[in-house]
Amino acid sequence: MKRRRVLAGLAGAAASAAGCGAPGRGGGGRPGDPVVLTLLSHYATDPLKSALQRVVDEWNAAHDRVHVRTTAVRFQDLLTTLMVRQAAGQGADIIHPYSLWAGQLAQAGVVRPAPSGDAARIERGFARPAVRAASVRGRPLGYPTEVQSYALYYNKRLLRAAGLAGPPRTWRELEETAYRTARRDRHGNTLVQGFGLSRTDDSTVVNQTLALLASRGGSFLHPDGTHSALDSPAGRAVFALERRLIDRGASDPGIDLMKAFPAGRVAMAVSGAWWTGSLKQTMGRDYRDVGVAPVPGPAPGNRGTVTTGFLLGVNAKSGHQREAWEFLRWLNDEVVPAGPGAGRAAAVRATRMSVLQMSVGTMTGRTGDMRALLAAGGDQNLGPFVDALDYATPEPNGPRAQKAKALLRKNIEEMWTGRHPPDAAVRNAVRQIDQELSR
């Protein structure tokens, strides 16, 4: 009888929340009343959608008073959805934004720093780059999730066919490998790109370039985030490298990398850890040809790359801060056996979010969890991405970071298409980005 009364109360709370859509609406607002927390993410399709729902179902089954309800939109619509719903007083209690937007969301009052106890857990439990990516002014806004470092994907079969024993370790070797593996037909049509450049969206265009920039010792912005640092020897070298690969026929940005690499028509590309899950699903048995290595640097052993990610935080307007943070701790900080769904890693102890991310071919910023799950039979291609969290540079996330990134993408693509030579494209990017950051 008690259980039925609780469920009836939850149903009423859900109807109330659905009707007004406001965060923190649930029950009558009295202590002990049932609560329905809403969680907005970009996990709109499988396998991410089902993976998140499974852990939410687990929470709901174990908690009578506080239930969680997930909603999702496409990643391309997530920032707009967050801002519009917040302005309308309909923001979700728990939000899962791209960390690039952290400064913008904090400035708009959508999120605020995590409570001190959660901040301490985050700083203690996650790799430093992941914590920095989820922080504004040195204070974490939420738990880092779906952390993405960037590394070099390569096709082992294509490299072997070109007489190469392994992936490049330096920029010079990267160029040599790109030229040796590229192939064209007698009409000049591209059959195999030696090094693929993605034009899918802001993140793929910019982050592959920032990863190469970091490997060369450069950075996108100065430490205070107010000016671009791109006009440097490293910045000019990256732009010149990409242009040279295009001019010499090893790269063709007009070809969709996301289709060409799985089809075995690209020898190398720089991308994030998320791509492993996608490639595995798309390539089937051919995924065994895929290898991952650190982004090459100027000399063997030089290391540098970029890291991005998402964070799970609580809406500043939520009326149920305590319950929302309790759920996030349960999901991101409580260490439990991975369980039967993790296969050979069932006995490994990790957070629920780490198990979730590993199950879909990506990772959290908890390097201890990731290494334990990998050692128990996970995808070894994730190893270089986990290792990169020891040295990766977080993507800048100031209030105008998204617009600065879009400007950088525009100038990179104008350099690719030949509209501007590399040095001019760097100068244009710096001028436009500095103007944007000064607003």
Q: Report how far residue 137's alpha carbon sits from residue 349's, in angstroms, rounded to the nearest whole number.
A: 32
Q: Report how far residue 140's alpha carbon sits from residue 138's, in angstroms, rounded to the nearest whole number.
A: 7
Strands 94-95 and 190-192: unpaired
Position 282 scores a pLDDT of 94
Q: Report how far residue 107's alpha carbon sits from residue 225's, in angstroms, rounded to the nearest whole number.
A: 15
Position 224 scores a pLDDT of 86
Q: Report how far residue 248's alpha carbon sits from residue 361's, in angstroms, rounded to the nearest whole number.
A: 34
Q: For residue 351, what are its two tokens? A: 């957070």
Peptide bond into 168 cis (omega under 30): no
Q: What are 90-105's pLDDT values in tens digits? A: 999 999 999 999 999 9
Position 360 scores a pLDDT of 86
Is 8 exposed, middle or buried (CB count within 10 Å of its CB: 0-12, 13-18, 19+)?
exposed
Q: For residue 195, what are its two tokens? A: 């090094």
Question: Residue ranges of the alpha helices (H) in 101-148?
Answer: 102-107, 116-125, 128-133
Q: What are 2-51's pLDDT values in tens digits? A: 333 333 333 333 333 333 344 545 555 676 789 999 999 999 998 899 99
Q: Are residues 218 and 234 in contact, defined by beta-carbon separation less than 8 angstroms?
A: yes
Position 11 scores a pLDDT of 38
Position 28 scores a pLDDT of 54
Q: For residue 406, what are its two tokens? A: 């879009």
User: For residue 20, what is the enclosing H or E element?
Assistant: helix 2-20
Burial track 285-311 (b if 16+ CB lie within 10 A, e otherwise): eeeebbbbbbbbbeeeebebbbbbbbb
Measured from the Cβ of residue 7, the count of other Cβ atoms closer than 10 Å reads 13
Q: Report how far residue 430's alpha carbon sits from residue 423's, in angstroms, rounded to the nearest whole number.
A: 11
Query: Nearest CA to 378 among 347, 333, 342?
Result: 342
164 residue type, one letter = L
Is 217 exposed, middle or buried (CB count within 10 Å of its CB: 0-12, 13-18, 19+)?
middle
- DSSP conformation letters of 262-299: TTT-BSEEEEETHHHHHHHHHHGGGGGGEEEEPPPBSS
Q: Report how far residue 379's alpha carbon sits from residue 398's, in angstroms, rounded to the nearest whole number.
A: 34
Q: Report how far residue 168's alpha carbon sits from residue 155's, in angstroms, rounded to the nearest whole number.
A: 12
Strands 190-192 and 135-136: unpaired
Residue with tokens 């935080």: 313
**Weakly modelled stretches of the chain, pLDDT under 50:** 1-22, 24
Query: Nearest CA to 306 among 99, 75, 48?
Result: 99
Q: What is the DSSP letter of 380?
A: G
Strand partners, 270: 152
- DSSP conformation letters of 305-330: -EEEEEEEEEBTT-S-HHHHHHHHHH
